[in-house]
Amino acid sequence: MLRKPMTKPLTVEVAIVGGGPAGLTAAIALAEAGIETALIARRAAPDHRTTALLSGSVTALETLGVWAGCAREAAPLRIMRIVDATARLVRAPEVRFAASEIGLDAFGHNIENRHLLTALDARACTLPSLTRLEDEARAVETNETGVSISLGGGDRIAAKLVIGADGRRSLCRTAAGIESDGHAYPQTALTFNLVHARPHQDTSTEFHTESGPFTLVPLPGDRSSLVCVVEPAEAERIAALDDTVLNEELEQRSHSILGRITVEPGRGAFPLAVETVRSFGQSRIALVGEAAHLIPPIGAQGLNLGLRDAATIGELVVSARRNGGDVGGSDLLARYDTLRRADVKSRTFAVDLLNRTLLSGFLPVQSARGVGLYLLDRIGPLRRAVLREGVAPAASQPRLMRGEAL
């Protein structure tokens, strides 16, 4: 039955556009702290990808009461291996890291996005301060005192702040007039979930190949997720293979470390790009997740950054509200931009650099990558510093990632 549009706009303190994992996390963080919040989000389309959530993200989801709803679907990542599988003249040594080296039981946990989204949705439904509108934002207009959002079904929302969690083609980003910098790569990431004959032993293995990484990440039981980065034409060829041929090809590419492979239904293909906004927030609009930054799937950084965005804007809004400040004011948005910029920029730089060194056939570049991995393998303090920084930024760990409620 068609619902009649509301006659008056719904007035809230914060409106969030987009119900992917970043938007849902921001909505839960705010509503749990008693901020009147509207989430404008259609139910997400099926997503067969998985996310390696690093330990700070898991802590934040525990603190928000989400993790209990999906923990049994997640597999711990205790060991990470990087294997140079290129056929080049200069090859890096195999590097193997254990979470125990930095005093952790696991670097994080890998979970299918559908299970994570179900747990986030279920937690969101329990919060009285959160109104969910299953619709899409059509227009976002801001002025000095507030923001107005028009929805496809005719409703309107009035808020002091809009959080744009609306993904890589963000309407909110355009409405705020925020530009971004970046470029596309000649690469496509193919995603598969696999059942395999040998146990993964809680080990994630990243094979570095001339076309990009081929990364196996544990799932519960004898299952793993795979991200296979190849050139677009090669991606089309692999995507068109029938299951039997594909199983054989993937077993070969994985050097049979997991024995016989059976691909599960649900394949994905994602053209790769890198992109970062020039401002994380202006004109009463703050951007989180892929609306603010795109990063290739190397080293499990994308959504971990997105969750830190959500935790940071949540923290700033709750603090402004408690101090009687404007939750969408320019001071708050400037602070948000400062807090997020270094974390996002440094990780984007590192991932972009690593990806470029893989693609480059230039010998000195190959040598530099080999030497870098060699030093990482041999120098204990460097190794531990890089591991700690990879799991959690020393400089900007929001409260939720430290296990503190907002």
Ligand X SMILES: Cc1cc2nc3c(=O)[nH]c(=O)nc-3n(C[C@H](O)[C@H](O)[C@H](O)COP(=O)(O)OP(=O)(O)OC[C@H]3O[C@@H](n4cnc5c(N)ncnc54)[C@H](O)[C@@H]3O)c2cc1C
Binding interface with ligand X (CB under 6 A): 17-23, 40-41, 44, 49, 51-52, 136-137, 165-167, 171, 189, 191, 227, 270, 289-290, 297, 300-304, 306
Nearer to ligand X, 14 or 17 (CB): 17
Asked if 119 and 28 touch (Cβ cutoff 8 Å), the reply is no
Nearer to ligand X, 175 or 366 (CB): 175
Tokens of 189: 């990431």
Q: How far is the CB of 380 from ligand X (least distance, A)?
A: 27
Nearer to ligand X, 85 or 300 (CB): 300
- The angle, 0 to 180 degrees and rounded to 10, between the axes of the packed helices 302-322 and 330-359 is 170
Distance CA 339, CA 313 (A): 9
Nearer to ligand X, 117 or 261 (CB): 117
Distance CA 401, CA 339 (A): 14
Nearer to ligand X, 188 or 366 (CB): 188
Q: How far is the CB of 7 from ligand X (least distance, A)?
A: 22
C-alpha distance from residue 120 to each of 109, 239, 318 (Å): 16, 31, 20
> Among 117, 139, 95, which Cα is nearest to 373's?
95
Residue 17 backbone phi and psi in degrees, to 5? -105, 120
Residue 400: CA count within 13 A, CB half-sphere = 30
- The angle, 0 to 180 degrees and rounded to 10, between the axes of the packed helices 21-32 and 113-124 is 30
Tokens of 124: 């969101």
> Among 34, 71, 77, 85, which Cα is nearest to 52's?
77
Asked if 83 and 205 touch (Cβ cutoff 8 Å), the reply is yes
Nearer to ligand X, 307 or 370 (CB): 307
Q: How far is the CB of 137 from ligand X (least distance, A)?
A: 4
Nearer to ligand X, 211 or 301 (CB): 301
In sequence order, what are the residues at sequence separation of 6 or more whose Cβ sits closer than 8 angstroms to the Cβ of residue 264? Answer: 192, 193, 194, 195, 223
Nearer to ligand X, 348 or 366 (CB): 348
Q: How far is the CB of 119 from ligand X (least distance, A)?
A: 14
Tokens of 212: 């990009």
Q: How far is the CB of 270 from ligand X (least distance, A)?
A: 4
Residue 119: CA count within 13 A, CB half-sphere = 21
Q: What is the number of other CB atoms lying within 10 angstroms of the CB of residue 49? A: 18
Q: How far is the CB of 381 from ligand X (least distance, A)?
A: 26
Q: How far is the CB of 51 from ligand X (least distance, A)?
A: 4
Q: How far is the CB of 90 from ligand X (least distance, A)?
A: 28
Nearer to ligand X, 118 or 319 (CB): 118
Q: How far is the CB of 299 from ligand X (least distance, A)?
A: 9
In sequence order, what are the residues at sequence separation of 6 or more whose Cβ sits closer than 8 angstroms to the Cβ of residue 18? Answer: 40, 41, 164, 165, 166, 167, 170, 289, 291
